[in-house]
Amino acid sequence: MTRRLEGKAALVIGAASGIGKATIIRFLEEGANLVLADWQAEAGATTAAELGIPFIATDVSKLADVEAAVALAVARFGRLDIMVQNAGIYPWQLIEQTSVEDWDRVLGTNLRGSFIAARAALPVMKKQGSGRILYTSSITGPHVTSPGHGHYSASKAGINGLIRAAALEFAGYGITVNGVEPGNILTEAIQQHRSPEFIKGMEDAIPLARLGSPRDVANAFLFLASDDAAYITGTTIVVDGGQLLPEGADFRIMPDRR
């Protein structure tokens, strides 16, 4: 390991499992000091205990909760250098089946929560004159979509707009704002709720012929959080195994392995 985040203070929201947990592990490997925040109190506390870091129960859609998480990081480490907003929900619902309340719940967590995260971190980072604000976006919404993901797609496209606006507004304070757009990632939730046949179908649509791992996404977050990305702001990194590249289904060219 290169200790690229040595001594940096980081808060990761939505980190009890999956991409968020992988990001915390990756940051710890590179020397960061971490606070884990998640709305799942039991799962979050278990993960935090496993990794030996502080945990705070946090509903990202509530400003007071996120402000408390930021305050905990500052109390523990004296500053906040990196904030990752990974919390998000993605219920499968066709638009005609989606109630206004369902819509508000998804947008409230994914998009409102992303605004709140930036709003809560800004005063601390502004005072420091530096900081990294990072978001989990998606290829779904900004580039592609599928039936049943109308609210999710809208929220992730909105996050990309927020990234650009916040990057412009915060640049004068030495704060960069970026995101990662994962494709199909083999998280615990996918393994639990999708059949092997469904997963195989997703793999067949990816040029690299596999789903991504949470660590694949965490590595992109690590780069954006590090000094290597000091001159990058207002953009996103696509981590999708080439899924966006093909024009049609007949794309796979296998090398001669004889």
Residue-wise pLDDT tens digits, 236-257: 999 999 999 998 877 777 666 5
Give the predicted TM-score (pTM) of the model. 0.94
Q: Looking at residue 13, what is its pLDDT? A: 98
Q: Report the first-to-last Cα separation within the chain, whole angstroms.
A: 37
Residues 59-87 have a mean pLDDT of 98
Lowest mean pLDDT among 49-63, 99-113, 133-147, 244-258: 244-258
Residue with more model confidence, 168 or 247: 168
Read off the tokens for 234.
């207002």
> pLDDT tens, 210-236?
999 999 999 999 999 999 999 999 999
Q: Looking at residue 195, what is its pLDDT? A: 85
Sheet with 236-239, edge to edge strand ranges: 55-57, 33-38, 9-13, 82-85, 131-136, 175-182, 236-239
Residues 177-201 have a mean pLDDT of 90
Distance (Å, whole) CA 145 – CA 137: 13
Q: At what angle do helices 63-77 and 113-128 cross, to 10 degrees?
A: 30
Please say if the pLDDT value at position 200 is more than 70.
yes
Residues 95-119 have a mean pLDDT of 97
Q: At what angle do helices 41-51 and 18-29 cross, to 10 degrees?
A: 20
Lowest mean pLDDT among 89-93, 157-161, 186-190, 239-243: 186-190
Query: CB of 174 within 8 A of CB of 126?
Result: no
Q: Looking at residue 188, what is its pLDDT? A: 86
Please say if the pLDDT value at position 128 is more than 70.
yes
The full set of domain ranges for the chain reads 9-239
Distance (Å, whole) CA 234 – CA 164: 4
Q: How confident is the model at residue 47 (pLDDT cuts 50, 70, 90)?
A: very high
231 in catalytic set = no
Architecture label for domain 9-239: 3-Layer(aba) Sandwich (3.40)
Q: Looking at residue 258, what is its pLDDT? A: 45
Q: Which of 90, 152, 173, 231 is catalytic?
A: 152
Read off the tokens for 205.
């649509």
Please say if the pLDDT value at position 36 is more than 90.
yes
* Token pair 């599928």 in the structure block, residue: 146
Q: Looking at residue 248, what is its pLDDT? A: 80
Read off the tokens for 1.
């390991």
**Could you tell me which of 182, 228, 206, 221 has the C-alpha nearest to residue 13?**
221
Please say if the pLDDT value at position 186 is more than 60.
yes
Q: Looking at residue 1, what is its pLDDT? A: 62
Mean pLDDT of the chain: 95
User: SS3 of 47, please?
Assistant: helix
% of the chain with per-residue pLDDT over 70: 98
Q: Looking at residue 53, what is its pLDDT? A: 98
